[in-house]
Amino acid sequence: MQKQLHKHTYKPSRSICFAVTYPKVREIFAADFKDRIVHHLLVSYLEPYFEKRFIYSSFACRKEKGTLCATKYIQKCLGKVTKNYTKKVYYGQFDIKSFFTSIDKKILEEILVKNIQKGFKNNLQKELIWLTKVILNNDPTVNFTIRGDSNLLKQVPAHKSLFNVSKSKGLPIGNLTSQFFANVYLNELDQYVKRELKVKYYSRYVDDIVLISNSIKEIKQWRNKIDIFLKNRLKLSLHPKKDKFGSVYSGIDFVGYVIKPRYILSRNRVVGNLKNKLKLFNQGLLLVSQNQKQTVLPLHTPPSKEELSKILAMINSYYGHFRHVNCFNLRKEIYENHFGILKEYLEPLGQYSYFKLIK
């Protein structure tokens, strides 16, 4: 592979195409192991340069960022803009329509090449531009193999599938480079919002955007200008049916949490998913991810050590999520009222923060 890269004979291999069903049906293209190594190689060179140019409040797929960082940042902003919870403040939340399948690869290539030319010199510059173009312009829909249930792929909405868009559009979900390139692409929007619109309280997680202001009229004006910018500069658009406006005191439903000025809650959907899995366990069933979809399997009587380990890992994952919100009573209530026979096998620790197997 090193020789292929050196001689510019490297070509991406066949991708694996499959569909996932949670939280919704999505099309995934997983690169071959060899290609994933090349993706990491490219990103390792480009990321340090772009990280210096990304705004702080872009949170997806970045080191030391993520959903928890986004949540804490927004709550900190709410404390400031509400003047310690004394002022009326509003939010607007917007979603970019069919984001990954709508990315214009020609525009993205121009952005990437321009920055590589600025940030790198001589032979390294040429090599990075060549490899960037090879990866960006690879079309996974012409060289792939299907894994898992092929019928699931038929359930993917047409506008969410690379098979139904122009060859000049779209990045495959599932690759490191796609996540990184998406941040580079929307950095154009981030810079416009911060530098031109002068929005002080702005956050973005992939294609989910949150604006905060003491004027809902101002938020709506920003929203319209952002939509115009997306259409003119990036050939994207905000989803016309997914706008949310409201008081911040009602809570902002963002990255898995409901964020309020004084506290943070978990989404009802997250709590409901856990209760459903616990209910199934008490009926002698285990909900697992299998072949890219969730499957219900019968449990042994009594449950095997392996099955208990799986349910323990699942529960501790949920309770790890809960530890970052204000919900001691919720954690206790779920244990007392929904664990059922699991109380015989799992012991709560740290004020219902996590569990361990009872020996």
Q: How far apart are CA 235 and CA 169, in angstroms?
A: 10
> How far is the C-alpha of 115 from the C-alpha of 180, rounded, in Å?
14
What local confidence, expressed as pLDDT, does residue 20 receive?
Answer: 86
- pLDDT for residue 287: 83
pLDDT tens, position by position, 191-222: 999 999 999 999 999 999 999 999 999 999 99
Give the per-residue pLDDT at 296. 84
pLDDT of residue 359: 80
Q: Residue 293: its pLDDT value, please?
A: 63
Per-residue pLDDT reduced to its tens digit, 134-191: 999 999 999 999 998 888 899 999 999 999 999 999 999 989 999 999 999 999 999 9
- The residue among 112, 107, 138 whose CA lies nearest residue 125 is 112
Q: Taking Cα atoms as reference points, which of 241, 192, 274, 210 lies closest to residue 60? A: 210
State the 10-residue block means of pLDDT for the chain, 359 residues long. 92 94 88 96 98 97 94 96 94 98 98 98 97 97 91 92 96 95 98 98 98 98 98 98 97 95 92 94 84 76 92 95 91 97 95 93
Instruction: Indicate the pTM of the whole model.
Output: 0.90
